[in-house]
Structure 1
């Protein structure tokens, strides 16, 4: 199944469980991809027939080993391109996701390798997501969601979800970016750089810290 649509499905299924353990359901997959549930049903059947996912009716969708390997290849492409756009072309971190969605299906493996070499083989993209190695290996520190962290927990920002560009801009505005050390004060407040700040709505579910 060599198609951009199939690759998008596999990448989305992988990304759903990258930072939490609950497998994705067909309805959640439809919501994330912005397609009709009937379209998801048909594509999941095709992916299952191709040995890329496992699925039972009305149950969760999970990647097979073959599906995961292919998903990791697409995730690698996407995140290297995002990093390239920020590093070489001056894109902001809230601007790169949609561009990478297009380019990841267009560039050759040779160009991807040159981009990786040019960037010095980065391990993380601008949002803190791990860039898989060429062999599919992923390196990631122990983490917890900011919204689940206890008061007084101090941690370094490992990752910020890229799903909401407006939230990314708001967080950058208060200096809460990948690599910044924060102390959780409870509720929607954190201390960073010696100042206590109120987080934008939804930030607690979009930021991951070192455990």
Structure 2
């Protein structure tokens, strides 16, 4: 059984490797976790001894097959709790991440099974991220960062890459939500920002960073 800290590190390594950083360096992990490199190095050794990551000094780390399965179960719990908090307790989507960070460490498999049933087996969390099933499988349709699609592209907002409070508050303020229809009108060469129309009504400009965090489907 893993400690709370070990679970947090394992999940972080999984997320960082999923972002294209196949071998997660000690410094990158320490920066992500807001800790010192020495602390991150000690944790990498612990997780390696438990065969949850493949780790070599100066080579970085990546989750092993067993580590991936465990990380996906933690993510499953986190996202199910987010659905519960929004749908049943009426939290806003920008209020649930920190609470779910605490709830994801509950160990009871039966509780999570009952929670999934109670919520009618949701496929996505309130931010549009897919919820792994009880076997750790993820099924999702192709998603594209808005910033990577050309002018003329039309799609639905299906997820956000950054579930941080500030970004979600920003989306609420400008009227972008999951399910919104966006059409890319123009791409500004100078700074990579995008001119978009929301639901065929409202026109606004999105920075390159915002466009990279908003995921669309066709």
Structure 1 equivalent of residue 215 of structure 2: 208
1:2, distance to aligned residue in structure 2 (A):
1.7
**Count of aligned residue pairs for this structure pair:** 210
Please, what TM-score do these two structures have when normalized by structure 2? Answer: 0.88
Which deviates more from structure 2 when the two are superposed, residues 35-44 or residues 194-203?
A: 194-203
Q: Which has the larger radius of gyration?
A: 2
> What are the residue-to-residue correspondences of 1:102-181 with 2, within 5 Å?
102-106=102-106, 108-181=108-181
Counterpart-to-counterpart distance in 1, 2:14 and 2:110: 24
Counterpart-to-counterpart distance in 2, 1:191 and 1:168: 19
> What are the residue-to-residue correspondences of 1:1-211 with 2, within 5 Å?
2-18=2-18, 20-23=19-22, 24-106=24-106, 108-184=108-184, 185-186=186-187, 187-194=193-200, 195-199=202-206, 202-210=209-217
Please, what TM-score do these two structures have when normalized by structure 1? Answer: 0.91
Counterpart-to-counterpart distance in 2, 1:204 and 1:95: 22
Counterpart-to-counterpart distance in 2, 1:91 and 1:201: 29
1:152-188, CA deviations, whole angstroms, 9 ceiling, x for partnerless residues? 2222222113442121011022221222221223223
Residue pair 1:94, 1:162 contacting (<8 A) in 2 also? no
Counterpart-to-counterpart distance in 1, 2:176 and 2:195: 12
Counterpart-to-counterpart distance in 1, 2:207 and 2:148: 16
